[in-house]
Amino acid sequence: MRILSAALAFAAALGLSTGTATVASAQAYPSRPITMVVPFAAGGPTDTVARLVAESMSKSLGQQVIVENVGGAGGTRGAGQVAKAAPDGYTLLLHHIGHATAASLYRKLPYNPATDFEAVGLVTAVPMTLIAKNGLAPKTMGEVVEFVKANKDKVTYGNAGVGSASHLCGMLLMSSVGAQMTTVPYQGTGPAMNDLVGGQIDLMCDQTTNTTGQIKGGKVKVYGVTTKERVKSLPDVLTMQESGLKDFEVAVWHGVYVPKGTPKDIVEKLNAALNTALDDPKVIARFADLGTEPESKDRRSPAFHKDFVVAEIAKWKPIIQSAGVYAD
Ligand code: MLT
């Protein structure tokens, strides 16, 4: 047996791709720190989810999972970087619904969101909130609709670039209202939130993982949540449907990916560590404080995630095309 393990170690060291060597590499994996790319700036909702999950995955994998923020182009810059990374399990992407909508928003996307990645597993679906700078006149969602109709492009709306969830939510709002606002793009809604709290922009739609603290701290006004049901941690905030915006529904699902061609054994090892993180009481409690919860157990397999991305690309394509929004 010693001879075989020495040969396997030698083969793995040479990167030989014999099946046995792959098994050996998966058994040895991970042997060094792992990078988890977040395709938005630090301090935003995607970053918040990633750091919670990465901290827990580090424990179960026995190697540091280090978050690297690669912002720009609504998340497509970071996703593109991971699509081109070595398929060895040492570069992960944690992205959200923007990974699916980019397929319709970008006509010259340098990667295919469905086929250039291996899906590792879904993480959580986060509600969004429509928020405003303190001092903005409207008191209710109905008054916001009238305010945007009356002021159109004089109203400034912050987002994380075309393809981001905050962009998608703004698109749904403008479609519901029938008026275009002036959008102000940022590398992430972390930086955008600073300008909203500072009064430099008027409105933003962002995930409860970034807005709960600001809402409860009275730093911003809140007009509604974008999920069908109210959010437990914001019980008094009406849903968009309760405010009469029937078609305005979006929850920001998140998933973990690795480059296409990453060995199945490594994908499964990462999926197991992700599931352990989603069952981690610390992660569950923090998600609850921030208005969300881990993906349900029956939706956590790589196969489910893979099919879900394809279905979401198909779901959002007609909605985006009818809104006539393109990034390039
Ligand atoms: C977005 O899509 O708006 C992102 O979630 C923003 C972010 O995470 O910074």
**Considering Cα of 99, then 104, then 109, then 113, what sign does the dihedral take?**
positive
- If one residue of 207, 209, 214 were mutated to test the ligand 1 pocket, choosing by the most ligand atoms within 8 A of its CB, it would be 207
Domains (range + CATH), the chain: 33-126+252-323 (3.40.190.150), 127-225 (3.40.190.10)
- Tell me which DSSP letter residue 75 carries: G
- For residue 10, name the pLDDT band (cuts at 50, 70, 90): low
- For residue 24, name the pLDDT band (cuts at 50, 70, 90): low
- If one residue of 164, 195, 214 were mutated to test the ligand 1 pocket, choosing by the most ligand atoms within 8 A of its CB, it would be 164
- Given a cut of 50, whether residue 145 has pLDDT beyond it is yes
Describe the crossing of helices 302-323 and 165-177 by its angle, rounded to 10 degrees. 40
Residue closest via CA to ligand 1's atom 8 equals 46
Q: What angle do CA 138, 157, 204 make, to 5 degrees?
A: 70
For residue 165, report the distance from its CA to the centre of ligand 1, in Å: 6
pLDDT, one tens digit per residue, over 299-311 is 999 999 999 999 9
Residue closest via CA to ligand 1's atom 3 equals 166
Residue 75 Cα: closest atom of ligand 1: 2
What mean pLDDT, rounded, does the chain reach? 92
- Given a cut of 80, whether residue 93 has pLDDT beyond it is yes
For residue 24, report the distance from its CA to the centre of ligand 1, in Å: 38
β pairing state of 156-159 and 203-207: parallel
Contact 47, 193 (CB under 8 A): no
- If one residue of 96, 206, 209, 226 were mutated to test the ligand 1 pocket, choosing by the most ligand atoms within 8 A of its CB, it would be 206
For residue 238, report the distance from its CA to the centre of ligand 1, in Å: 22
Contact 38, 69 (CB under 8 A): yes
pLDDT, one tens digit per residue, over 150-203 is 999 999 999 999 889 999 999 989 988 899 999 999 999 999 999 999 999 999
pLDDT, one tens digit per residue, over 29-66 is 999 999 999 999 999 999 999 999 999 999 999 999 99
**Where do we find the tokens 């060597």?**
21
pLDDT recorded at residue 322: 85
Residue that wins the pLDDT comparison between 40 and 17: 40
Residue 40 Cα: closest atom of ligand 1: 9
Q: What angle do CA 156, 157, 159 make, to 5 degrees?
A: 145
Residue closest via CA to ligand 1's atom 9 equals 188
pTM for the complete prediction? Answer: 0.90
Contact 263, 25 (CB under 8 A): yes
For residue 52, report the distance from its CA to the centre of ligand 1, in Å: 16
- Given a cut of 50, whether residue 14 has pLDDT beyond it is no
- If one residue of 36, 37, 40 were mutated to test the ligand 1 pocket, choosing by the most ligand atoms within 8 A of its CB, it would be 40
Q: How far apart are CA 272 and CA 216, in angstroms?
A: 35
- Given a cut of 70, whether residue 4 has pLDDT beyond it is no
pLDDT recorded at residue 15: 45
pLDDT recorded at residue 23: 53
